[in-house]
Amino acid sequence: MSGKEPAIRASFAGSLGGFTLDVAFEAPMHGITALFGASGCGKSTTLRCIAGLQRLPGQLFVNEEMWQDDDRGIFLMPHKRAVGVVFQEASLFPHLTVGKNLMYGAKRSGVPAVIPPDDVIDLLGLAKLMDRDPIALSGGERQRVAIGRALLSQPRLLLMDEPLSSLDQMAKDEILPYLEALHEQLSIPLLYVSHDITEVARLADRMVMLSSGMKIAEGPVQDLLERLDLQPETGRFEAGVLLTAQVTGHDEKFSVTHLDHHGQAISMPARDVAIGSEVRLRIRARDVSLATKRPEAISVRNVLSGTIVEVAEDPQSAHAETLIDIGGGRLRARITRQSVAELELAPGKPVFALVKSIAFDRGTLSVATGHSTNT
């Protein structure tokens, strides 16, 4: 990221009890940047430092405006920082209706509305909930109201601390499209804390990966997901990559959507996405098999030609991780070390990557937002 571009630049180093944090990173003033890592790695502490709710020695600049610089004795109090914060629990006022909860955020901002209330209500689908009491809302609805209240405080920066962690899968599936809509339609930068790589892959443009209070990597989500050396942090079971493809058609007879990825065809269960749209696909390493010859007469619909880029074998197990360049993108495949040996897989070897269409479940596709993953 260019230092000349508007950016959030944060660095904090210090101890809280027995925990030590030493983190420095940058994030652009648009799109979603995820702070990712296992529980206890320092994600939430970092977010609280940015909000001013926790103080550790460091510096924080938001688009060249200094919010903290301990070398100069500068520390902007939380109420003077133009941030909207959404925590794990919605924490709505139980004695106020949804509408009044929303307007509470607007009244506290004390600044002209850059984001009109009606736009927020429409964006988050809250119109039918305005007269309801918080106790009558589902978990997903409460979080949508909490997000709306944060947006109506007219923030320059939106912070979300594990906003889906207290929700069941049905509620998560309900709210994720709204988070994607925020990404697509709002220009406010969002810092999103999560330990769920599935959420990060679906929502974020950039990722800052933390472990034991330290940053171990940062960059575009797509790039970091392709790094085999980061698997201990991203997790073996859900490890995978992102590809961008264009919708080319729908087959109503077989309920299939057809995509094009740089000249290679991909098919998946039908999705309600317009022809010509760009979508972002998440393909897990465990859903990819490899062949050294193009297979025939098989049920697998997606056969993508590529070249082995990297092979990482785990001598303590039967598994190996491979990275395959398929032209315009890369796939990961988790296979056995025995397969690596028998197929003589090595960098430069041509292969065919096989991906079942049914591997694309509802959480593997999102509509591309137009923000570059290489910002």
What is the full per-residue pLDDT of the chain (375 aa) written as tens digits? 555 677 999 999 999 988 999 999 999 999 999 999 999 999 999 999 999 999 999 999 998 899 999 999 999 999 899 999 999 888 899 999 999 999 887 766 556 667 788 999 999 999 999 999 999 999 999 999 999 999 998 898 999 999 998 888 888 888 988 898 888 888 889 999 999 998 999 899 999 999 999 999 999 999 999 999 998 888 777 788 999 999 999 999 999 999 999 999 999 999 889 999 999 899 999 999 999 999 999 999 999 999 999 999 988 889 999 999 999 899 999 999 999 999 999 999 999 999 998 887 555 666 665 443 333
**Measured distance CA(374)–CA(363) in Å, rounded:** 23
Percent of the chain scored above 70 by pLDDT?
92
**Is residue 298 helix, strand or coil?**
coil
* CA angle, residues 123, 128, 130, in degrees to nearest 5: 90
Residue 228, class by beta-carbon neighbours within 10 Å (0-12 exposed, 13-18 middle, 19+ buried)?
Answer: middle
- Mean pLDDT for the chain overall: 90
Alpha-carbon distances of 132 from 90, 99, 100, 122, 175, rounded to whole Å? 15, 8, 10, 16, 18
Predicted confidence (pLDDT) per residue in 38-67, tens digit: 999 999 999 999 999 999 999 999 988 999
Q: What is the pTM of this model?
A: 0.88
**Is residue 158 helix, strand or coil?**
strand
Buried residues in 6-33 as b, exposed as e (16+ CB within 10 A): ebbbbbbbbeeeeeebbbebbbbebbbb
40 Rama sector, left if φ>0, alpha if ψ -120 to 50, beta otherwise: left
The answer for residues whose C-beta is within 8 angstroms of residue 155's C-beta and 6 or more apart is 82, 83, 84, 188
Residue 222, class by beta-carbon neighbours within 10 Å (0-12 exposed, 13-18 middle, 19+ buried)?
Answer: buried
Torsion of CA 271, 273, 278, 284, to 10 degrees: -20
> Please, which residues bridge with residue 13 across strands?
22
The answer for residues whose C-beta is within 8 angstroms of residue 87's C-beta and 6 or more apart is 146, 161, 162, 163
The confidence score (pLDDT) of residue 371 equals 40
Domains by residue range for the chain, with CATH: 7-234 (3.40.50.300), 240-367 (2.40.50.100)
**Measured distance CA(321)–CA(358) in Å, rounded:** 22
Inter-residue contact 258 to 267 (CB < 8 Å): yes
**Measured distance CA(175)–CA(177) in Å, rounded:** 6
